[in-house]
Every structure is written in structure tokens, then in C-alpha cells.
Amino acid sequence: MALSQGLYQKQLQKLSPQQIQLMKLLQVPTAILEERIKEEMEENPALEQQEDDHQDEYDEANDEFKDDTDDDFETEGTADEYDNIDISEYVNDGDDEIGDYKLRDENYPEIDDGRVIPHKVETGFNELMLEQLGQLSLNEHRQKIAEQIIGNLDDDGYLRREITAIVDDLAFRQNIITTEEEIGQLVLQIQQFDPPGICARNLQECLLLQLERKLDEGKHVEMAMKVLEKYFEEFTKKHYEKIQRGLGLNDEQLKAVINQIIKLNPKPAGSVGDTNKGENYVVPDFFIVNNNGKLELSLNSKNAPDLRISEGYRDMLKDYDRGSKKDKRQKEAVLFIKQKIDAAKWFIDAIKQRQNTLLNTMEAIMNYQREFFITGDETELRPMILKYIAEATNLDISTVSRVANSKFVQTEFGTYRLKFFFSESLQTDSGEEVSTREVKKILSDLIEAESKKHPLSDERLTELLQEKGYNIARRTVAKYREQLNIPVARLRKEL
């Protein structure tokens, strides 16, 4: 669904800097919009969040601009600009259009006010490793080497970097001279940390490390270790007959041994929290509610504060307009303030445009896929491509693509990325066009209902789909199965 990087760059070259900023703002998901607005407020003092208590930046006692305001800016205006400053549009009383802008949804305030921003508080994987490292009695030299090893563990908990490379890193970056043997000794110590299987060099070693912790559980664990040591490749390919013949196991023994292995964790660090991963949480950008058959759409605005132009900055312009004394310093100050207010107005308008674009796009998707949002049945999804929504909203296809790829909608059936609703079409025997999403759902249901002792081959799945009226080839079934991350029949087989 996404545009190619090359085409995206070509489109950017045709746009003005402001249009580029608008496009980038459109891509920002709700989860980080608040941070983006804070950055803008830090850069532009004329933009502020709505607050009850507000102190003006104006010194009423002297009835003129504060000296520190004059010292805090630089201008690039010409003398002509200073002599012909038009601020009439900024000083009219009751001009709410410049400033106040409320992102909160007025139609469904209960949806917004009841929303709770999720927080995550837990110990990260790296912290857990270092905490356990602190329990070892190591000298300073070995402590630094061990920290380097832990720093090289990947997100799954594996040490995939070569030992020789770690030796070089320590020598060149920290001036620490060590050997492969010394690092190997420390790796063995770290492998005793929790969770079991940590610091393994590969999957085979990871599983064996976990089984070593379970040796007191009986002979099936010992046999499982033999399977992984001698028949690891056969195990990964589910060639159970070779394992059974090689170790002289009957069916019950083989099943018990395999059950020991499949209960192990191939990604030992996966269960340990990582507070730096924003993708751990999905903050929906839209909410769709089914109100007695009528779909109601609202925009999640919890993470966006109410924005306005600074009253202090507007008051300074009003005072300048009322005053008779207009020296060069005051004119420079006014030009600076006007530029900041213009930038703040543009940002507020950009936020408005972002919200309107999001709502228009989501409304078009909601209307097009109405039956799904009513029933939650994936087979009700209609074939839909970016072009359909672009035509319905009068937006560019690239704009729809950016919205679809980075936004989520919460429904009573779950939370979905918008691109979930886009799919190509497939013809049935009767000539009817159906969504490929519908075919994938039926394919997934067939595999889920199959006998795991005799899983369905791609050929058989093709026959079953054709019996249901879907004109589909075996290679297409294989492609859809791979897109669903479902392995081939042999790897789905269970004893």
C-alpha cells in the first residue's frame, strides 16, 4: 500500500517547505502528537496551551515593551518593513479565529474524557542483566568485559556477535586486552542468568541451556537434550521418523520428548520488558461506535492540548497599535512578534488540517466497509484500494497511503491499523468480486479447523476453496498462507 521511497522523494521535491511540513505532521500518530506539539511550543513562544492562569509578557507599569524582550530576538527585516508594518488583523478585539483552537471532540466528550493514557513501568532487559551481573564477584577488568558482552545481546537475548569481534571492540574502543577464552568463560557465567537460555549463540544452544535447568524433572528431559544435540536439524524440519529410529523411541516416548522441547522459549528476552519500545502500545487515532445500527466516528484528541496564540504577544501588538511613539527598537520587536504569531497561526491551521484529513479519510473507509464495522465479520470486507478512498475524499493517493499506514481505529471488535481494510479483489465462479481479505480469512479458518495429525496440504486447501466457489490457484493459496505467517503442512503436523 505504501508508495516507493523513490516516488515519495520525487513528490517531496515538488512541494513547498510548508506543504512538506503538513505532510510530515499528517504522518504523526496520536501516540507522539503531544511530543510534536511540545517541541513546537518550545521553539515558538507565541504558541501556547490553553490555561486558566495566564500572565502577560507586558509591563503595564511602564506602558511599553520590556527590555529583555528586545534582547531576545534577531530580525532580518528591512527598514521599509519596519516602516510599513500592518498589524490590523492581529489587534481586532474578539478575533478568536487567530488563536483559540480546541482539539477536543465536542460531539462525544465522554469518549475523550474517559480515555486513559497507558503507562508502562517495568525493568528493562539490559537493566535486569546488569543487576544480575552485580551479584558476581568480578574484578574491574572482567566487569567491563562482561558489560560489553551484555551490551551485545540482541532483543531476543542472543549473543550473535562473534567472540573475535568483541575482543577487537574491547581493544580498540576501551583499551582492554582480553582473549577469546576469557570472554568464553564470562559467557558461560552470564548463561546462568535469568531468564533461562540467555546469551546463547544460536537457537540450539538456547534450548539446551533451558533444558539443563530442568534435568531434575526426569528422563524425558535428558532424551530431549539428546534430540537437540544429535538430531536438531531433523527436529526443526519435523522429521520425527528419523529421530524415532535413531533413538529407539516408541510413539508415546517421542511425543513426551517433543512436548518437553516445544514448551521452551526460543526468545528468552522476549518476556522481559523494554520501556523504550513505543510499539508496545497502540494508541487508537479513531473510535467507531455502533449506536443502534448508526456508525458514529470520533477522533482521539486526548494527547493534543488546546492551542492558542499567546495573549501576551497579542497584547503587545495592541499596545503598539495604540501608542504614538514608535522607535526602531519597537518596530523591530513588533516585526519579530508578528513573525512568531504567523508561525503559530500556521501550526494551528496545520493541526486543524491534519484532523480534517484524518476524519475525512476514516469516514470514507467507514462508509465503504460499513458491513464490517456493523458485524465485525472479516468476510464482509469489500475489495478496497487506495484509489477508491482518494476519489471519495478528493485527496491524493499518497496522502491516503500515509494515513492508512500509520493510524489505528478502535472498534467494538478490536483495534485495527487502517491498512488492514485495504485489499485487492478476487473473482468467484459466479463472477462476483470478493476481497482477498475474505479469502485469507476462510483459508485461516480451514487451517485452524484441520486435524493437526493430518494437516491440509496447499493442494487440498486449493480444492476446498474452489469447492466454495473461489477461483484460485495453488500458488496463490501458498502466497496467502505465507502472508498469514502459516507454515507448510509438514511443519504444522503434531504427534
Q: What SS3 state is found at 174?
A: helix
Q: What is the pLDDT of residue 53?
A: 46
Compute φ and ψ for 295, nearest 5 degrees: -80, 130
Q: What is the pLDDT of residue 85?
A: 54
Quote the distance between the C-alpha of residue 446 and its chain's center. Answer: 31
Q: What is the pLDDT of residue 294?
A: 92
- Answer positive or negative: Cα dihedral of 341, 347, 349, 351: negative
Q: What is the pLDDT of residue 134?
A: 83
Calpha distance 453→474 (Å, rounded): 22
Identity (one letter) of the amino acid at 34?
Answer: E
Calpha distance 153→161 (Å, rounded): 8
Q: What is the pLDDT of residue 87?
A: 55
Residues 164 and 181: beta-carbon distance below 8 Å: no
Compute φ and ψ for 344, nearest 5 degrees: -65, -40
Calpha distance 190→209 (Å, rounded): 11
Q: In this structure, are strands 408-411 and 414-417 parallel, antiparallel, or unpaired? A: antiparallel
- Which residue in 41, 40, 43, 30 sits closest to 103, CA to CA? 30
CA distances from 427 to 431, 435, 460 (A): 6, 9, 20
Calpha distance 318→92 (Å, rounded): 8
55: left (phi over 0), alpha (psi -120 to 50) or beta: beta
- Which residue in 181, 197, 323, 241 sits closest to 490, CA to CA? 241
Q: What is the pLDDT of residue 201?
A: 92
Q: Which helix (H) or strand (E) holds 172?
A: helix 163-174
pLDDT tens digits in sequence order for the chain, 495 residues long: 444 445 445 544 555 666 666 677 777 777 777 788 888 888 888 888 765 444 443 344 334 434 444 444 444 444 454 455 555 555 554 444 433 444 444 444 444 444 444 444 445 788 888 888 888 888 889 999 999 999 889 888 899 889 999 999 888 888 899 999 999 999 999 999 988 899 999 999 999 999 998 888 878 888 989 999 998 988 888 888 888 888 888 888 888 888 888 888 988 887 665 434 444 467 888 999 999 889 999 888 664 567 888 777 777 777 766 655 566 777 777 788 788 888 888 888 888 888 888 899 999 999 999 999 999 888 788 888 888 899 999 988 888 888 887 789 999 998 998 888 887 767 666 666 677 777 888 888 899 888 888 888 888 898 888 888 888 888 888 888 888 888 888 878 876
Residues 383 and 425: beta-carbon distance below 8 Å: yes
